[in-house]
Amino acid sequence: MRGIEIQSDIKLGQKILYINWGLVALITIIACIGFSCLYSAAGGSLSPWATPQIVRFMMGMCGMLVVALIDIRFWYKMAYPCFALGMVLLVVVEAMGHVGMGAQRWINLGFMKLQPSEVMKIAVVMALARYFHAVSVDDVRRITFLIPAALIVLAPVGLVLLQPDLGTSLMIIMAGLSVFFVAGAPLWMFISGIVGTVASVPVAWHFLHDYQKKRVMTFLDPESDPLGAGYHITQSKIALGSGGMEGKGFLEGTQSRLNFLPEKQTDFIFTLFAEEWGFVGGVVLLALFALVFIYCGVIALRCRHDFGRLLALGLMVNFSLYVFINIAMVMGLIPVVGAPLPLISYGGTAMLSVMLGFGLIMSCSIYKDSKIPRL
């Protein structure tokens, strides 16, 4: 479907026709799976998790469609202001943020707890997409032009690490690197970054908090403390294995129903799903996520302007990283980090930020032929 140039005489109904309704349907299906998981996690009740999540999804859907219909050139202009707002919110969190589970990551707004690092994952990609859109391919290969872009990534990462939130920091870095790569940054920069990261591991170890060190040690040998630090991952593996090929059935997961499975409504919700629906159900869910990422990738490739292409691809990488890290975490393939499963895990800011991110991707699709000046 051909993109459109927005003019004053184009009606709202015509704009709505250009929304990628296939992507909307996939997002809705995955979210409904999440609602059923939260219903099951509460023992067959809509409260306390499913009902608030449904309301948040409906709000997020409205926000997503509004964002999608707004001209991509508006979001181009708002990229830096959104980044600045995200930085301010991160500073506010550090100064007076709400403390939960040993971390200071939220701003208590009364009706909800806002997690600025979730907003920043979107804002960093927006700012990088605008920056690289405005420079030429030759400039991207010059180190002097890469320094400001690196600061766009490292400045929020530094503030997020203070919360502390190592998982989100790493995901911001990886999403940023994906934008660097697509923008045409030289390969030596990525090789140097990998070598530097590996070399800095011994130094970084001394700056980790005790609970972060314990997570790494538990990952290496979870059986050493199955009732303590290794309890989460041990119970997760038991639940995954007991699900078998076809699962135990809806509301029949023993590990979750008997409360052996911790954080079953957030970080370990995929474990709950796999116990009830088995390997087959897990593969179907992963296939749905894969279709979403394929849709986003096609949108990025069809964009005729660098801003939309970089924005859509960066956000796609951001979402896919969360899916990969969450599932790898509950399977014991990586240390436990606070990484919710998009559209599935319980959480207000995470749901809204994901939906707004998809709205930006759809805006890239609708306005893929727009001409954005390199300013």
Q: pLDDT band at residue 191, thresholds of 50, 70 and 90? A: confident
> 253: helix, coil or strand?
coil
In whole numbers, what is the pLDDT of the chain averaged over residues?
A: 85
The 8-class DSSP code of residue 224 comes to G
Model's pTM, two decimal places? 0.89
Q: What is the pLDDT of residues 332-364, one digit of tens each?
A: 888 887 788 999 999 888 899 999 999 999 999
DSSP state, 340? P
- pLDDT band for 2, please (50, 70, 90 cuts): very low
Beta partners for 104? 99
SS3 call for 108: strand
pLDDT at 162: 81
Q: How sure is the predictor about 204, in pLDDT bands with cuts at 50, 70 and 90? A: low
The most confident of 23-37, 99-113, 180-194, by mean pLDDT: 23-37
pLDDT at residue 346, as a whole number: 92
Q: Does residue 5 or residue 226 have the better pLDDT?
A: 226
pLDDT at 104: 59
Q: What does the CA dihedral 259, 28, 348, 120 come to, rounded to 10 degrees?
A: 120
Q: Where are the alpha helices (DSSP H) in the chain?
A: 12-17, 21-41, 50-69, 72-96, 116-133, 137-140, 143-161, 166-183, 187-207, 210-220, 231-243, 254-257, 269-302, 306-330, 348-366
Of 95, 71, 84, the residue nearest 4 (C-alpha):
71
Give the start-to-end residue ranges of the domains of the chain: 12-366
